[in-house]
């Protein structure tokens, strides 16, 4: 395989078996990265790892529950052992629950806590345990996936907006604290991307039209477009990019 933008980069991707995570994992593999892929145990994660392995790329599946610190620590340790260290942590695991998530006056506390645990606390946990390896890399990068809801809000899913907004403050704090030690930290904020997470919206022609008409490029985004941005941020070509958000929303106006 020809050397790509991520040749020799050792990367752990969480939420790898979902729409954006899967596209990012495939792109990272194509660009020459050595990968550890994490998600809940199941056939989708195993199938993705097998597919990437068959392409000739170095990959291992490290399943686990992102809400459990012991499992997170074990995932990070296994990834670092198999890869020989970590250069990049790509925190993609997340949930979006229209119908269960709601405006604050109707939002169940258990739902709020669960969304925060998966979308925000998991990022803290993975970063906490990966920091020693990322610093050892000397060219380490932390990439967290938020959403345009982080700053524009979400009219119906208030826990989701809160969970993604918190990632900006956390990521900037990490970037400022660990930057002198060589670690970069950035946030990707996608807009409406065509993944299974928003199938409910894409199946509603009126709702889809509303999104499209509110987007300067007059379409929804594709997972590969997030993967392209993620590849740049994971590479050493972005060596002076840190403590910021990269918004990928096609000119969404809210």
Average pLDDT over residues 75-87: 98
Domains annotated for the chain, with CATH where assigned, are 10-248 (3.40.50.720)
Residue of 96, 112, 133, 160 marked catalytic: 160
CB of 36 within 8 A of CB of 133?
no
Q: What pLDDT shows up at residue 201?
A: 64
pLDDT at 182 over 90: yes
3-class SS at 144?
A: strand
Reported as a single tens digit per residue, the pLDDT across 41-68 is 999 999 999 999 999 999 999 999 999 9
Bridge-partner residues for 246, per DSSP? 188
Q: What is the pTM of this model?
A: 0.94
Distances (CA, A) of 5 to 2, 89, 230, 240: 10, 16, 11, 16
pLDDT at 148: 92
- Cα(70)–Cα(125) distance, integer angstroms: 9
Coil/strand/helix, residue 49: helix
Alpha carbon distances (Å) from 124 to 29, 56, 91, 254:
25, 32, 10, 29
- Over residues 125-140, the pLDDT tens digits come to 999 999 999 999 999 9
By three-state DSSP, how is residue 35 classified? Answer: strand
> What is the pLDDT, as a whole number, of residue 236?
96
Q: Any idea which of 169-178, 189-198, 239-248 has the lowest mean pLDDT?
A: 189-198
Distance, CA of 57 to CA of 70 (rounded, Å): 28
pLDDT for the residue 253: 67
d(CA 233, CA 24): 12
Using one digit for the tens of pLDDT, what is the confidence trace for 211-243?
777 787 888 789 999 999 999 999 999 999 999
More confident residue, 250 or 172: 172
CA 52-57-60 angle, to 5 degrees, is 65
Q: Tell me the mean pLDDT in the region 85-106.
A: 96
Query: How many CB atoms are located within 10 Å of the residue 111 CB?
Result: 16
184 forms beta bridges with 141
> Is 112 noted as a catalytic residue in this protein?
no
pLDDT value for 3: 79
> Rounded to a whole number, what is the distance in angstroms from the first to the last CA of the chain?
43
Residue 222: phi and psi, rounded to 5, are: -115, 150
For the residues 19-42, what does the mean pLDDT come to?
A: 96
Angle at 248 (CA atoms; ends 199, 50), nearest 5 degrees: 60
The pLDDT, as a whole number, for residue 204 is: 67
**pLDDT value at residue 10:** 98
Q: What is the mean pLDDT of the chain?
A: 93
Q: CA quadruple 232, 148, 158, 209: dihedral positive or negative?
A: negative
The upper half-sphere exposure of residue 126, i.e. CA atoms within 13 Å in the direction of its Cβ, equals: 36
Least confident of 3-7, 23-27, 199-203, 236-240: 199-203
């Amino acid at each position: 395989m020809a050397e790509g933008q991520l040749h020799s980069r050792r990367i752990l991707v969480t939420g790898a078996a979902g729409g954006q995570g899967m596209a990012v994992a495939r792109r990272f593999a194509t660009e020459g990265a050595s990968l550890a892929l994490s998600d809940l145990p199941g056939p989708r994660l195993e199938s993705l790892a097998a597919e990437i392995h068959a392409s000739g790329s170095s990959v291992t599946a490290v399943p686990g529950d992102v809400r459990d610190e012991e499992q997170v620590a074990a995932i990070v340790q296994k990834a670092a052992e198999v890869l020989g260290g970590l250069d990049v942590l790509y925190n993609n695991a997340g949930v979006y629950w229209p119908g269960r998530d709601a405006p604050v006056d109707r939002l169940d506390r258990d739902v709020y806590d669960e969304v925060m645990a998966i979308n925000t606390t998991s990022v803290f946990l993975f970063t906490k345990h990966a920091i020693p390896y990322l610093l050892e890399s000397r060219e380490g990068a932390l990439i967290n996936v938020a959403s345009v809801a982080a700053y524009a809000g979400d009219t119906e899913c208030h826990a989701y907006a809160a969970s993604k907004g918190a990632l900006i403050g956390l990521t900037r704090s990490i970037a400022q604290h660990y930057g002198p030690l060589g670690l970069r930290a950035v946030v990707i904020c996608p807009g409406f991307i065509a993944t299974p997470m928003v199938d409910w919206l894409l199946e509603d022609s009126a709702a889809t039209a509303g999104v499209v008409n509110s987007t300067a490029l007059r379409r929804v985004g594709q997972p590969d477009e997030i993967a392209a941005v993620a590849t740049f941020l994971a590479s050493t070509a972005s060596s002076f990019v840190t403590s910021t958000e990269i918004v990928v929303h096609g000119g969404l106006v809210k």
